[in-house]
Amino acid sequence: MGLDKYRRKRAFRETPEPRPAASAPARGSAGGPRRFVVQKHQATRLHYDLRLEHAGVLKSWAVPKGPSMDPRDKRLAIMVEDHPLAYKDFHGRIPEGEYGAGLVEIWDKGTYSTGDGLGRKDEEKLIEAALRKGHLDVRFQGKKLRGLFTLVHIKPRFGGKDNQWLLM
Ligand code: MN
């Protein structure tokens, strides 16, 4: 997806959100565990933004009700544009009139893994394939989120939206 959409939606003179690097996107940290963040975002509607580090960007979903540690819960998660890696540390107030205006707080952060025992390169391929297939298993190691979660793409029906997933 890249960061063009992220860039297009924002006026970086107005918003304190991170500006993506002008050059080719960073490949992320070369090694080490992949990071995730959940931001609580008091925009027009309160929601939570789940972001997973993958291939030099943050894959992102807006979760209206937020993630739940209750295994019975399935939470709607709407896939949104990729965000730059630096966004994982972003918190603050997006000014009135700007895209996503409102307060952003870090609700939880940590690392995640998938495909136990794979090297980083192989894991990246596995995540890529899982995102394409619409079924991604992730194990969160955060403060609030811990354990195995699944993101499942909801197949659009009757020309409906193609960006809807469930987080469970
Ligand atoms: Mn948001």
Task: Report the separation in Å between the CA atom of 80 and the middle of ligand 1, taken as the mean of its atom positions.
Answer: 9
Token couple for 72: 């019975």
Read off the pTM: 0.92
Task: Report the separation in Å between the CA atom of 61 and the middle of ligand 1, taken as the mean of its atom positions.
Answer: 8
Check whether 29 has a pLDDT greater than 60.
Answer: no
116 class by beta-carbon count within 10 Å (0-12 exposed, 13-18 middle, 19+ buried): exposed
Rounded Cα distance between 80 and 163, Å, is: 7
Task: Report the separation in Å between the CA atom of 150 and the middle of ligand 1, taken as the mean of its atom positions.
Answer: 20
Confidence of residue 121 (pLDDT cuts 50, 70, 90): confident
Q: Are 51 and 68 in contact (CB under 8 A)?
A: no
Q: Are 68 and 75 in contact (CB under 8 A)?
A: yes
75-96, pLDDT tens digit by residue? 999 999 999 999 999 999 999 9
